[in-house]
Every structure is written in C-alpha cells, then in structure tokens.
Amino acid sequence: MPNKNKVFAGVLVALAMLTGPAMASSSVDLSNPAFAPTTGPTSIPIGAAEFCKAHREDCGPSAGLADVEALTESNWRQLVSINEAINTSVAPVTDQDLYRVTEFWTYPSGSGDCEDYALEKRRQLIANGWSPSALLMTVVRQQNGEGHAVLMVRTDRGDLVLDNQIGEILVWKDTSYQFVKRQSQTDSRKWVGIDDTRIVTASVRR
C-alpha cells in the first residue's frame, strides 16, 4: 500500500500546479480547470428525488455553509480513510438485484449500488464536520455509456472524486468519466448541469 504521506504530498503538488497555494473559500478561482464548471439548473435524478422524500433531514438549503473545504493533511487522511472503509465494507449489488427496481437511492446496509456508496461517504463526512454544500452527489457517464454515481468533494484545491469503482481519489478532470450533473451547492434537493467538454480517452487505473 502506498505511503499516505507521500500520496498526500503528490496530490498537493499536482493540484498546486493548477490552483496555486491554498486559499480561503471566498478567493477560490472556480474557473480553474481543477473545478468542474456548471451550466445551471437541470433535471433531478428520480432516485435522488425519492431519496430526499424519504430522508428530508438530509436534503435542503445550504445557506451559510462553506462552499469548499480546505484540503489539509488531516482532511486528506479522513477522505482516504472513509473512502477506503466504505469501499471495502459494502458489497456491490445492483438495485435490480437488491430491490427489484431499476433505481433506488438509499444508505447501504452491507451491500448497495454506486449511489449508495456515495451517499454513505457523504453521510460519514458530514458526521465528521464536513460542510454538506461541499459534498455533492454527482452523475457521470462511463466509457461504455452506462450511468454511474460518485461523490464530488469540493476543496480549495479542486473537485475530488470518491468512487466505489476506483480506490484512488482523483481530481474530477483526471478520471475517465464524462460528468453530467451534480447537486446544487445551495440546495441539495436541486441539481445543476456540468459543462464537461473534455475528450475522454484514457482508462482510469483500477
């Protein structure tokens, strides 16, 4: 297993080349390519809408909350720890096999689909003090054309992706996914489109 201190240092070096030194959330340049650009309001995934109806306490406006989290070494360690813990403790099972429906978003209980992993990571990060408005459920398209869900974490160094299919935490633009839409930072019940104009050709390391 790679040394986490070296991995953290490598991540900071890579992100610093894009974003420069760490900055306060009010001065973060969201036009930087380390941040996924958005296009405005878009449709809400059916699974997300149904999840919010069932878990109203976990959905709603995010007024006054931090838009980005500082990527300190402590925060990085926590991201890696929670990402690894959920990826290894939850068995991958499709909604069709588990619930006999095409799409069902919920917190996993031993097994779950991609969005369930992301929801649990979001829940655990919030429980550890992370701002809900910086933890965004995100829909992407895989290279085979199939839809997939990940958790996008907005930090002062860029948008990081926590994924159940890839153990490594990557900056959004370094993945092989085509990003489609994510939760709004101002209200988790609403979604915004992602303006992903990259030409994705490389395969992600698994």
Q: What is the C-alpha to C-alpha distance for residues 8 and 11, in angstroms, rounded to an integer? A: 5
Quick one: pLDDT at residue 199?
81
pLDDT in tens, 22-80: 554 556 788 899 999 999 999 999 999 999 999 999 999 987 788 999 999 999 999 99
Return the higher-pLDDT residue of 101 and 7: 101
Q: Give the residue from 176, 186, 171 showing the smallest Cα distance to 36.
A: 171
* pTM for the structure as a whole: 0.86
Residues 6+ apart with CB under 8 A from 86: 117, 120, 121, 124, 164
* SS3 of residue 136 by DSSP: strand
**Rg of the chain taking only CA atoms, in angstroms:** 16
Quick one: pLDDT at residue 8?
57
Query: Could you give the domains of the chain?
Result: 4-194 (3.10.620)
- Measured in whole angstroms, the distance separating CA 195 from the mean position of its chain's CA atoms is 16
pLDDT in tens, 166-192: 989 999 999 999 999 999 999 999 999
Give the pLDDT mean for 87-104.
Answer: 97
The answer to whether residues 80 and 87 touch, using CB atoms and an 8 Å cutoff, is no
Give the pLDDT mean for 12-26.
Answer: 50
CA distances from 180 to 30, 45, 139, 150 (A): 18, 11, 6, 11
Q: What is the C-alpha to C-alpha distance for residues 30 and 4, in angstroms, rounded to an integer? A: 27
